Amino acid sequence: MSIADIARGVASGQVSATALAEAALRRMRGEGREIAAATRVLDARALAKAAEVDALVAAGANPGPLAGVPFGVKDLFDVAGLPTTAGAAMLRDAPPAARDAEAIRLLEAAGAVLVATLNMDEFAYGFATINAAFGTTQNPHDRSRIAGGSSGGSAAAVAAGLVPFSLGSDTNGSIRVPAALCGIYGLKPTHEALPMDGVYPFVDSFDDIGPFATRVADLKRVWDVLGGRADAGSGMRVARLGGWFARNVCDELVQGVDAIAAHLGGVDTVALPQVDAARSAAFLMTAAEGGARHLPELRKRPLEFDPQTRDRLIAGAMLPASGYFAAEAFRARFRRAAEALFARYDVLIAPAAGEVAPRIDNPMITVDGKRVPARAQLGIFTQPLSFIGLPVITVPLYRPGKLPLGVQLVGKPGGEASLFALAEALEAARITGVSLPESGAMLGPKGDAVDAG
C-alpha cells in the first residue's frame, strides 16, 4: 500500500491514524528492537499526534498529504524533549532538544506520525551501522548481514516493513549505501535542498538529509512535503559512468546496469576524470571536519567514544591544514569536470555499492583484489558524488528472493525531477523495484497497512 493510499484511507475514515500508530509502535518494539533498527520507540508522542490527526478527520478538516503515515528518523534529528544522541553513548544524557528538527515539523504538519528514532554509526562516521552502544543493525533480508550505514536503522526499518518511510542523512553515502544493501529507494538531494535545521552535523559542506521508501511515488511525496524543489528541468539524456565506477562491481550488478541501459535503447558510457582523487579528497575533508568538530570532547573523554569512530576522528583532527586545502581545491576542479559532463547528459548511472551486504561476523568487502573493512570503504562509489553536492536516487534492482543490489541515478544540481522520472520509468518496467523480505510483510506487497495479528 502506498503512502498516498494510507493517507487517503485515514482522510476518508476507513482506518484511524491511532490504529496505524499502534501497529507501527508494536512493530518497532518487536522487530525494530530485534534487528537493532529502533533506538527509541516514541509511544506517547506518536499516540498523541495520531489522535490529533483522527480529530481533524472527525471534524471534517484536511489532515494533510501524509495523514496518519507512521515514520522514523535517524537518531541525529532533534526530537523535542529528547537528547539527540547522534548514535553516541556519551550523548544519551545530553540536554533534551527544545524543538523538533524542521524536517520533522514539516512532516508532522502534513499529518505524518513520528514513531521511533533509528540506529546509526556513531556521529554518522561509517557505512555499516555497527554501533558499540546501540548494537549492529541487521539487514532484514538476511539478519546475519549488515544493513549498511550510517543511516542503517532508517533503511532497515523501511525494508522490514516497520514504517512506510523514514529519514536519514547522507554525507558520503549514508543514505545511498544502506538503501542499496536493504533493497529500497533512497534520495540524497542536491546539497542544501532540504532543511538541515535541528540535524546533528558531521561535515557541513556536504551533509544532507533525505527519505527512504519502498516506492518512487512515496519518495517523491515526502520530498514534496519537505519543500524539495527541482529547478534544473526534467531532461532524460542518460549515460552510464565507466572507469572507476566499472571496477570492483559484481557481475550481477553489471548485468543490472546493462538491463537499465538496454531498456533505454542503449546509452553512452562516459568517464569522470580523477574519481580516485575525488574520493580521496572527500575522505580527507570528512576526516578533518569531523575531527575538528569533535576535538573538544576527544580531549576531555576519548574513552567514551566508540573506538572505531574515535581513532578515525583523532587521526582526522591531526591532518595538516595543507591537506585540507588541497582537497578543497581539488573539489572545485572536480566540480567543473562534472558540470562539463552534465552539459551533455541529465542523468548518470553508477553502482551504489559493488556487492551485496557483507556479513556481520566478517564486515569486509573486496576492493582491487584486497579485503578491506566495509565500515570505511563501502562508499567508494558514493563519496565522489555527494562531495560535489549532486542529487542521487538509489534504486534497487528488482530481484525477488536474492540479496539486494542498488544503482545510483545521479543528476545535476537541482536535477531531481529527471531522477524521479527515470526512477518511475524503471520501476514501471519492473527493472527496479522493492521485494520485501518475507519476515517484514506488514507493509508489504499485499498492502496490509496494519498488523495482521
Partner 1 sequence: MPDTSTPSVDPAAADLVAGMARVIGLELPDICLPGVIAGVEALQMHLGVLDAAEAEDRR
Residues marked as catalytic: 74, 150, 174
For residue 253, state whether it binds partner 1 (rule: CB under 8 A): no
Nearer CB in complex with partner 1: 130/158? 130
For residue 89, state whether it binds partner 1 (rule: CB under 8 A): no
Number of shown-chain residues binding partner 1 (CB under 8 A): 31
Q: Please name the residues in contact with 30: beta carbons below 8 A apart, sequence gap of 6 or more.
A: none
Q: Which of 71, 127, 165, 330 binds partner 1 (CB under 8 A)?
A: 330
Give the Cα separation of 245 and 259 in Å (integer).
16
For residue 333, state whether it binds partner 1 (rule: CB under 8 A): yes
Q: Please name the residues in contact with 430: beta carbons below 8 A apart, sequence gap of 6 or more.
A: 398
For residue 243, state whether it binds partner 1 (rule: CB under 8 A): no
For residue 206, state whether it binds partner 1 (rule: CB under 8 A): no
Q: How many CB atoms lie within 10 A of CB 345?
A: 22
Q: Which of 274, 335, 445, 451 binds partner 1 (CB under 8 A)?
A: 274
For residue 271, state whether it binds partner 1 (rule: CB under 8 A): no
CB of 282 vs partner 1, minimal distance in Å = 9
CB of 348 vs partner 1, minimal distance in Å = 20
Give the Cα separation of 107 and 223 in Å (integer).
10
Nearer CB in complex with partner 1: 133/326? 326
In degrees and rounded to multiples of 5, residue 168 shows phi and psi of -130, -175
CB of 299 vs partner 1, minimal distance in Å = 5
Cβ atoms of 207 and 174 closer than 8 Å = no
CB of 330 vs partner 1, minimal distance in Å = 6
Nearer CB in complex with partner 1: 123/330? 330
Question: Measuring CA to CA, which residue among 245, 251, 170, 181 is closest to residue 203?
Answer: 170
Question: Which three cell numbers mark 31?
Answer: 522487530
330-336 contacts: CB < 8 A, separation 24 or more?
330/274, 330/277, 330/278, 330/281, 331/278, 331/281, 331/285, 331/387, 331/388, 334/272, 334/274, 334/277, 334/278, 334/281, 334/384, 334/387, 334/388, 335/388, 335/389
Q: Residue with C-alpha cell 489532515? A: 63
CB of 148 vs partner 1, minimal distance in Å = 20
The alpha carbon of 193 is separated from its chain's Cα centroid by a whole number of angstroms, namely 15
For residue 332, state whether it binds partner 1 (rule: CB under 8 A): no
For residue 109, state whether it binds partner 1 (rule: CB under 8 A): no
The alpha carbon of 181 is separated from its chain's Cα centroid by a whole number of angstroms, namely 11
Site stretch for partner 1 (CB under 8 A), options 26-34, 180-188, 315-323, 352-360: 315-323
Rg (CA), the chain: 20
CB of 344 vs partner 1, minimal distance in Å = 22
Q: Which of 205, 280, 366, 439 binds partner 1 (CB under 8 A)?
A: 280
Side-chain-side CA neighbours of 163 within 13 Å: the count stands at 35
Nearer CB in complex with partner 1: 138/386? 386
For residue 317, state whether it binds partner 1 (rule: CB under 8 A): yes
Question: Interaction with partner 1 in 294-313: which residues (CB under 8 A)?
Answer: 295, 298-299, 302-303, 307-308, 310-312
For residue 319, state whether it binds partner 1 (rule: CB under 8 A): yes
Residues that bind partner 1 (CB under 8 A): 274, 276-277, 279-281, 283-284, 287, 295, 298-299, 302-303, 307-308, 310-312, 314-319, 323, 326-327, 330, 333, 376
